[in-house]
Structure 1
Amino acid sequence: MKAQPEPLPDHLRALVGQSVDDVDTPALVVDLDAVNRNMQRMVEFAAKHRLRLRPHGKAHKSALFGRLQLQAGAVGLCAQTVAEAEALGAGGINDVLISNEVLSVPKLRRVAALAHQLYTRGGRLSLAVDSGEGIERLAQAMVLTRAVIDVYIEIDIGQGRCGVAPDERAVTLARQLAGRSSLRFAGLQAYHGGAQHLRTVAERHAAIVEAAEKVNAVRRLLEAAGLPADVVTGAGTGTFAHEAASGAWTEIQPGSFMFMDVDYLRNERDPAQPQFEPALFIKSQVISLADDHAVCDAGHKSHAIDSGLPEVQALPGQAPLRFANGGDEHGVLHPEHTADEDGPLSHLPALGEAVWLIPGHCDPTVNLHSHYVVVRGGLAAGRVEAIAPVEARGVW
C-alpha cells in the first residue's frame, strides 16, 4: 500500500488561521470559495440531466477534496492509478473506479487488497479492462479475497489510446466476465480525452456525436447478447454537456472543473455548460526587478508546462502581466502594455509583491506539490483554512 504522508512541519501547521499574506512562496493555493461554487454548479448540472457524477480524483489527488465532492452529491470518485485509488481509499472514499487498465501482477495484488478493504467497509472498487489478458490476470489476483470487483469494459470512442474496438470484441470481453464469482460486468468506460481541448464548441460537439454513435452501437450488441451495459461512464470537463445531451452516458467523470486551468480556459465557452472559475493558483513573489521586467520565484518546479505556461491572475488594482519562461526556479513577468517613450515601463510589481499564477495544466501541477494551502475569503484578503496533503501524488 502507498505510504502515508509525513506529518506536516510546524511552520505549515502554524499557517492555519493566518492571513494569506503569510503564505511563503512558491505555494500551491486553493481558493475554497471558488471550489465550492464550481462544485455546486456541477452538482446542479448532473442533477438536472439525471446523471451520476463521479469526479476524477486524478485532478486533485486529495482525500479532503474527494470527501468534499461526496458531501456535495458525487456518487464516488475516479482514479487513474492504483496509488491514487489507495490514497483515496485510505482517506475514507468508499467508492472508487480506476478508469484505466492494470496489467502488472504486483499492482493487481494491490487492487485485490484495496477491493477487499472497501468491501469490508460496505464500499466497492471498480476497474477498467480492454483485453482478455487483463480479465484473466485480474481474476487470478482476486482469488486472494472474497470481495467482488466491478469491471467496466473500456471502448475506444475516438481517442486512439486505451479501449477495445467498439464492436463484437466488447461483447466477447463481457462474455468472458460472465460467470466469474469475483468479477462483475458493470458497464462501459467510454472517455474521449482527445475531445476535451478541441477549442470550438462545434468541434467538441461533433467529436462526441461520433463517440455516442459508437457507444450506442456497443450497447445494442450487448443488449442482444443478454449482457446489458447498465452504466456508461466517461466524459470530461471540456465535453460533459455533449455527453449529457446524447443520452448515451449515465455517469460523467469531469475532474478539472473544480480547479480549472489555462488550457481549459482557452476553450470556447459552451453555453450548455456551467461557467467554472479558476480556483487553483501558485502563489509567487517578485524577487528581482529590472526596468522592463520583473522576476518571480515560481519556475517549472512549481507548475507543469505540458499544456503551456501559466497566466497571471491580476487581483483588483493590479496591472496585467504576462508570464514568460524563466527556467526551473524563475518566471519572468512582462507588462501587457508598451513603455512610455520618456522612461521605463510602469506598473511592474514591486520587490516582494505577491504574484498569483493560474497553471497551464492543473493535474500535473498538483503532482509537483506535497500539500495544498487552502484559503477561504479570497486571494487578496483571505485566511488559511487548512493545509491539505496531496496524498495521491506520484505515478505508482
Structure 2
Amino acid sequence: MDTPKLIVDREKLQHNIEAMQDFARQQGINLRPHIKAHKTAEIARLQVEAGANGITVAKLGEAEGMLAEGFNDILVAYPLIGAEKIERVRALLDSGCHLTLMIDSRAGATALNDLRWPDGIDVLVKVNTGLNRCGLEPGPKLVDFVSWVHGLSNLRFRGIMTHAGHAYGAKSWGEVQEIALSEGEQMVAAAAEIRDRGIPVEVVSVGATPTVMVAGAVPGVTEIRPGNYVFYDATQVMLGVVKPERCSLKVVTTVVSRPAPDRAIVDAGAKTLALDRGAHGSSGLSGHGLLSDPGWRLTRLSEEHGVIEGDNLPAAGSVIEIIPNHACPVVNLADRLELSTGAQWPVTVRGRTS
C-alpha cells in the first residue's frame, strides 16, 4: 500500500461510539460529542445515529462545514470575539442552524446580544474547573455574571459548561479520577448556587475523554462532550483510560531506510504524526507514537521522516502501524481516513481553524 496513511478500524470505531452512548444512556444524560477530534461528517453521522444529542465544535469554520453536511444542532465551545465572527454567527442563524454559543466575558455576551436575533440566542457560560484556560471561577463572580447574562434581552442562558483538560497532565489513573470527580462536583455546586439566585440551569455540561466516565456519573451533571473517544490514542493509553486494543486509529508507514542496525527510518514524520507528547501541553510520553514492539521507540521526527530506534528493527520495505500520541491534530493533517473495510472518508472540516 502507499504510505503514510491513516487507517481506522471500522469495528473498533463503532464499538467506541456505542460504548460512550451506552454510558450516557445508563446515566440518563445527553452526549454531545466534540467533533474536533475527527472532523469527519461520516463519523458524526454514526454518533448521531447512535443517539448523540447534536454535536460540539471548536470553531465557526467547523460549524459552517458540518451545517453544510446536514448537522443542525451545534454547540460552538469557544469564545467568539470580533465583528467578523459575530457576522458569521448571524449567517449560521440565518441558515436555520440551532446554535448554542459559549460565553465567559461581558464583551462576548454583549456582542452576541447586540445581534438582536429575533428568537434569541442560546448560550452556555464557561466555568474554569482547573485547566486555567477560558472560563470563570466558581463562586460569587460566576453567579453575578450569570445573573447579568440572564437579564440580557436577546440571549437565553441555558446553563454552564467546563472542560477538565488538566487531567491530561495527571501522573496516574487515580489522579485522573480525582480531577474528574472534582470537575463534576464543582459544576453541580455552581449550578446549585445559580439556581439559588432564582435562575434556571438546564444544562450542566462536562467534557474530556479521560474524565468523562467519572464526571458524567456525578448526580446533577446533564451532558458530556468527549471527543477523542472515537479513536483513543497513546495519550489515553498512558493515562490508563483504555488499553491499546481499543485504539481505532493508526498511522500506517513504511520503513524506507535502515542506515544502522539500531535505527530505522519511516515515511511518517511530523507532517503526519504531529509533534504532541500529550495534550494541553502535557509531555508524559517519551516518544512520538506507540509501536507494536515494546523494544522499538519512535524517538525523532522531522517533517517527512520518523526515526525508530531499538533492537530487531523491521527491514526496509516493511509496513508498520503506529498509534499516534494525540489523534486530534493527526487527523487534521490528513485529507481522508481509510477504513479497514476499504472505504475512504474525507476529513470534512480539516484546517477549519477560524
TM superposition score normalised by structure 1: 0.81
| Residues 1:305 and 2:275 aligned together | yes
**1-structure distance, mates of 2:60, 2:179:** 30
| Residues 1:64 and 2:64 aligned together | no
- CA displacement at 1:216 relative to structure 2: 2.9
**1-structure distance, mates of 2:185, 2:14:** 34
What residue is the counterpart of 1:323 in the other structure? 298
- CA displacement at 1:387 relative to structure 2: 3.3
What residue is the counterpart of 2:318 in the other structure? 353
Partner amino acid, structure 1, of 2:35: G
What residue is the counterpart of 2:22 in the other structure? 44
What residue is the counterpart of 1:280 in the other structure? 249
| Residues 1:246 and 2:254 aligned together | no
What residue is the counterpart of 1:228 in the other structure? 200
Partner amino acid, structure 2, of 1:248: G
Whether contact under 8 Å (1:369, 1:390) holds in the other structure is: no
SS of 2:122's equivalent in the other structure is: strand
Write the deviation string for residues 232-255 of structure 1: whole angstroms up to 9, x where unpaired: 111211011211232131100111
For residues 5-44 of structure 1, the aligned pairs below 5 Å read 22=1, 24-44=2-22
**1-structure distance, mates of 2:222, 2:70:** 25
- Extract unaligned runs of 5+ from structure 1: 1-21, 338-346, 377-383
2:51 aligned to 73, 76, 94, which one?
73
**1-structure distance, mates of 2:204, 2:11:** 32
SS of 2:236's equivalent in the other structure is: helix
Whether contact under 8 Å (1:64, 1:91) holds in the other structure is: no
Partner amino acid, structure 2, of 1:114: L
**1-structure distance, mates of 2:244, 2:254:** 29
SS of 1:74's equivalent in the other structure is: coil
- CA displacement at 1:264 relative to structure 2: 1.1
SS of 1:64's equivalent in the other structure is: helix
What residue is the counterpart of 2:282 in the other structure? none
SS of 1:126's equivalent in the other structure is: strand
Write the deviation string for residues 181-224 of structure 1: whole angstroms up to 9, x where unpaired: 54211100122111244242321222233333432332122112
TM superposition score normalised by structure 2: 0.90
For residues 1-396 of structure 1, the aligned pairs below 5 Å read 22=1, 24-119=2-97, 124-140=98-114, 142-143=115-116, 145-178=117-150, 180-269=152-241, 277-290=246-259, 291-307=261-277, 308=285, 309-314=287-292, 321-335=296-310, 337=311, 347-376=312-341, 384-396=342-354
Partner amino acid, structure 2, of 1:194: H
Q: For the aligned residues, what is the CA RMSD? A: 2.2
Whether contact under 8 Å (2:331, 2:347) holds in the other structure is: no
Partner amino acid, structure 1, of 2:252: K
For this pair of structures, how many residues does the alignment match?
Answer: 345
- CA displacement at 1:99 relative to structure 2: 1.2
Whether contact under 8 Å (1:98, 1:128) holds in the other structure is: yes
Identity of aligned residues (%): 31
**2-structure distance, mates of 1:105, 1:153:** 20
- Extract unaligned runs of 5+ from structure 2: 278-284
**2-structure distance, mates of 1:281, 1:241:** 24
Whether contact under 8 Å (2:291, 2:297) holds in the other structure is: no
SS of 2:166's equivalent in the other structure is: helix
Q: Which has the larger radius of gyration?
A: 1
- CA displacement at 1:147 relative to structure 2: 4.6
